[in-house]
């Protein structure tokens, strides 16, 4: 009797907007990494899932952003008429050298290790103030009333946004995430992103003029003065990169705080370890970044034809580097799907790599460390609701929660 024919594996379908995928992308990452670690998707891009491949592509100068070409390929020439896309094109996040080098050089001094470390007292004061505002109530939505508020206030401090102008930023609906996803937005979502971009542009252009007339010791003044010193920073570039610093300066931290608290409360043994030994907090933050990264992907494109492990990339190909998949690669991490605050050297790649490594990585780490330490100390009995069915945002590139209800007894 002949053996029954083997069933062929079902085709790989990558749908990053599937609610089941949003809720837990890691089983799909594992399947893709095992079956086809460099996968050419029918959606028109290549997906890289192995830690080694992702790390190489992020570091290797043969791969760049090539954002304009990829944007036109995905969205068509009409994308250039959309304010939200025009702004993206001018951000250092999407530029290659020499433009990237020039733009990044203008803001690097604000994010040196020394300057960021000096912000600890201010961050601690802000964290305590937020807790003071809710502690007697016995409950809060961690995302809306805490995790979103803190990094917005920190980046407002750095940029120099006046206290009286901050309310719209603190009440933001956080719609920026969808525009970074590999699947084009609906017309409704794009209209909202355009409206937000135009509203912010009007505000910041006014603030730029105020800083030209009356300079202050803040990052916006530094950028305005650099523009006038002949660094060829156009007004559009100035706005686009302030918008980037504002968005990146709070989105990653907001989501890291939320994802981290969720992981800790879903793993009460790990939460107990942290409560018993606060010295584990810095390592726990690294493990959060590895285990459930607030940034799940970043894009690259070959600047020339390149071959990796027998796979041929052609110049201009769009590549999605799945940071979340690389962080869960068993070749890089033992038992990668386990959350372990005592893991030795978690080494997350969540902040990217190479010349585009996140400028605010250390700031995000410090903010999250202070949050974890303060919540464990001041609200040790805090409980989270909806642990089985968290309210995830319908975005893929930026992974985070819409809400995270918490309660405690005083």
Considering the chain, what percentage of its residues have pLDDT values greater than 90? 64
- Least Cα distance to 253 among 333, 335, 369 occurs for 369
pLDDT of residue 1: 43
pLDDT of residue 363: 94
- Least Cα distance to 32 among 322, 396, 288 occurs for 322
Q: Name the pLDDT band for 228 (thresholds 50, 70, 90).
A: low
Number of other residues whose CB lies within 10 A of the CB of residue 346: 21
> At residue 128, does pLDDT exceed 90?
yes
Average pLDDT over residues 40-55: 93
pLDDT of residue 103: 87
Interatomic CA distance for residues 314 and 301, integer angstroms: 9
Mean pLDDT of the chain, nearest integer? 90
> At residue 185, does pLDDT exceed 80?
no
**CA 8 to mean position of chain CA atoms:** 37
pLDDT one-digit tens code per residue, 236-247: 888 888 888 887
pLDDT of residue 4: 47
> At residue 39, does pLDDT exceed 60?
yes
Between the alpha carbon of residue 197 and those of residues 177, 239, 244, the distances in Å are: 13, 10, 11
pLDDT of residue 7: 58
Number of other residues whose CB lies within 10 A of the CB of residue 324: 24
Q: Higher model confidence: residue 176 or residue 70?
A: 70
Q: What domains are defined for the chain?
A: 19-407 (1.10.630.10)
Instruction: Please report the beta strands in 129-186, taking only residues with DSSP state E, as ranges in sequence order.
Output: 139-141
**Helix residue ranges per DSSP H, 162-234:** 167-170, 176-179, 187-213, 219-228
pLDDT of residue 177: 60
pLDDT of residue 110: 82
pLDDT of residue 247: 78
DSSP state of 295: B
């Amino acid at each position: 009797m002949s053996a029954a024919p083997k069933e062929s594996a079902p085709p790989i379908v990558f749908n990053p907007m599937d609610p089941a995928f949003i809720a837990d992308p890691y089983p799909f990452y594992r399947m893709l990494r095992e079956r086809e670690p460099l996968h050419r998707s029918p959606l028109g891009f290549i997906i890289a899932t192995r830690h080694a491949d992702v790390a190489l592509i992020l570091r290797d100068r043969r791969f760049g952003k090539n954002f304009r070409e990829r944007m036109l390929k995905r969205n068509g020439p009409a994308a250039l008429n959309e304010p939200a896309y025009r702004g993206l094109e001018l951000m250092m996040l999407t530029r290659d050298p020499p433009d990237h080098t020039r733009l990044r050089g203008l803001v690097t001094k604000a994010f040196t290790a020394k300057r960021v470390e000096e912000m600890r007292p201010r961050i601690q004061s802000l964290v305590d103030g937020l807790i003071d505002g809710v502690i007697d109530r016995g409950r809060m939505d961690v995302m809306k009333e805490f995790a979103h508020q803190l990094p917005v206030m920190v980046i407002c401090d750095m940029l120099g946004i006046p206290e009286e102008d901050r309310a719209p930023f603190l009440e933001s609906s956080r719609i920026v995430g969808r525009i970074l996803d590999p699947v084009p937005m609906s017309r409704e979502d794009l209209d909202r992103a355009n409206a937000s971009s135009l509203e912010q542009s009007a505000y910041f252009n006014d603030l730029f003029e105020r800083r030209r007339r009356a300079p202050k010791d803040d990052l916006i003044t530094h950028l305005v003065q650099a523009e006038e010193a002949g660094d060829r920073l156009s007004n559009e570039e100035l706005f686009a990169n302030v918008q980037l610093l504002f968005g990146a300066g709070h989105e990653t931290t907001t989501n890291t705080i939320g994802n981290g608290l969720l992981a800790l409360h879903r793993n009460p043994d790990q939460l107990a370890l942290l409560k018993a030994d606060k010295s584990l907090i810095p390592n726990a933050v690294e493990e959060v970044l590895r285990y459930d990264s607030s940034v799940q992907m970043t894009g690259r494109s070959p600047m020339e034809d390149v071959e990796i492990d027998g796979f041929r990339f052609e110049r201009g190909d769009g590549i999605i580097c799945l940071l979340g998949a690389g962080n869960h690669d068993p070749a890089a991490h033992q038992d990668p799907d386990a959350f372990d605050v005592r893991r030795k050297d978690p080494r997350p790649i969540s902040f990217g790599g190479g010349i585009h490594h996140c400028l605010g990585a250390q700031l995000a780490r410090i903010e999250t460390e202070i949050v974890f330490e303060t919540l464990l100390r001041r609200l040790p009995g805090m409980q989270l609701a909806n642990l089985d069915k968290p309210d995830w945002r319908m975005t893929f590139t930026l992974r985070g929660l819409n809400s995270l209800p918490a309660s405690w007894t005083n």
